Amino acid sequence: MVTIKKDFIPASNDNRPGYAMTPAYITVHNTANTAKGADAKMHANYVKNPSTSESWHYTVDDSVIYQHLPIDENGWHAGDGTNGTGNRKSIGIEICENADGDFEKATANAQWLIRKLMKENNIPLKHVVPHKKWSGKECPRKLLDQWSSFINGISSFNTPPKESSPTYPLPSGVIKLTSPYRKGTNVLQLQKALAALHFYPDKGAKNNGIDGVYGPKTANAVKRFQLMNGLTADGIYGPKTKAKLKSKLK
Ligand SMILES: [Zn+2]
């Protein structure tokens, strides 16, 4: 779970207008601030400053989410005027692009947040929109040219990004049946990855045959995997088999 820290703009600020809102849309922005340290916390402080005129609901970086406004109140982030639908009916989310942050991670965290907000507020995916929709501004500038994959990422998001699933490092290079048999960590990694996809070197044997030795049974597991995945079934582990394993283990 990514932590959402509530750090609301003081009610006395001009940028907290306090109009009641029933959110019908989610508007996505990029901060357009690439400075080091321009993370969610920094934006939380910025938006609380009484001289700041704009406001939005959440800022997301690669490790945390700050909430600046309750979602039943509007903010000024869409650039479509005092009575604009963007400003008055949408939840504004800024995704950080600070140089010392991981933008992909921040984007994944935003996708997780959007999914949660969609569920909680009954907002359909087609109402998740770029800032550009409301005002024509080139925002979110880093996501506009990949908007459909950003949207696809929301709908296919089934687990929170911080919930770690086991990862399977895969060796590079070629591993094949040799005499004597190749042994070592590389082979072990490969066997574990294959086993995670139910291609065991020796199902039912001790530890399903996962022993770090590339013998005929492991070569056969590779061969079965290749056969089932449209690859040349030669029992030789190389770049193509690696790529396919990687895509299956996602
Ligand atoms: Zn924007």
Residue-wise pLDDT tens digits, 94-107: 999 999 999 999 99
What is the set of domains in the chain, with CATH numbers? 3-156 (3.40.80.10), 185-249 (1.10.101.10)
pLDDT, position 163: 47
Checking if the pLDDT of 122 tops 80, the result is yes
pLDDT, position 250: 77
Question: Is the four-CA dihedral 239, 243, 249, 250 of positive or negative sign?
Answer: positive
pLDDT, position 159: 46
Q: For residues 211-227, give the mean pLDDT.
A: 97
Q: pLDDT tier at 33 (50, 70, 90 boundaries)?
A: very high
Mean pLDDT, rounded, of the chain: 94
Whole-angstrom distance, CA of residue 55 vs CA of residue 208: 57
pLDDT, position 155: 83
pLDDT, position 157: 57
Measured in angstroms, how far is the CA atom of residue 179 from the centroid of ligand 1?
61
pLDDT, position 123: 96
Measured in angstroms, how far is the CA atom of residue 118 from the centroid of ligand 1?
19
CB 214 within 8 A of CB 181: yes
Instruction: Give percent of the chain with pLDDT exceeding 70.
Output: 96
Q: Is the omega angle on the peptide bond into residue 70 within 30 degrees of 0, that is, cis?
A: no
User: Residue 122 has what DSSP assignment?
Assistant: T
Checking if the pLDDT of 72 tops 60, the result is yes
- Tell me the residues surrounding ligand 1 (ion) with CB < 5 Å: 29, 131, 139
In terms of pLDDT, which residue wins out, 1 or 216?
A: 216
Q: Say whether 230 sits in a helix, a strand or coil.
A: coil
Alpha-carbon Rg for the chain, nearest whole angstrom, is 24
Q: pLDDT tier at 161 (50, 70, 90 boundaries)?
A: very low
pLDDT, position 162: 46
User: Residue 73 has what DSSP assignment?
Assistant: B
Whole-angstrom distance, CA of residue 85 vs CA of residue 194: 51
Measured in angstroms, how far is the CA atom of residue 229 from the centroid of ligand 1?
43
pTM of the model: 0.64
Measured in angstroms, how far is the CA atom of residue 174 from the centroid of ligand 1?
47
Q: Closest Cα partner for 218 from 248, 188, 245, 173?
A: 188
pLDDT, position 12: 96
**Total Cβ atoms within 10 A of residue 37:** 11
CB 201 within 8 A of CB 191: yes
Measured in angstroms, how far is the CA atom of residue 157 from the centroid of ligand 1?
23
Burial bucket for residue 119 (CB in 10 Å: 0-12, 13-18, 19+): exposed
Which residues touch 165 (CB under 8 Å, ≥6 apart)? 159
Measured in angstroms, how far is the CA atom of residue 24 from the centroid of ligand 1?
18
Q: For residues 115-132, give the mean pLDDT.
A: 96
CB 67 within 8 A of CB 6: yes
Measured in angstroms, how far is the CA atom of residue 27 from the centroid of ligand 1?
8
pLDDT in tens, 165-200: 578 999 999 999 999 999 999 999 999 999 999 999
Measured in angstroms, how far is the CA atom of residue 5 from the centroid of ligand 1?
21
Checking if the pLDDT of 164 tops 90, the result is no
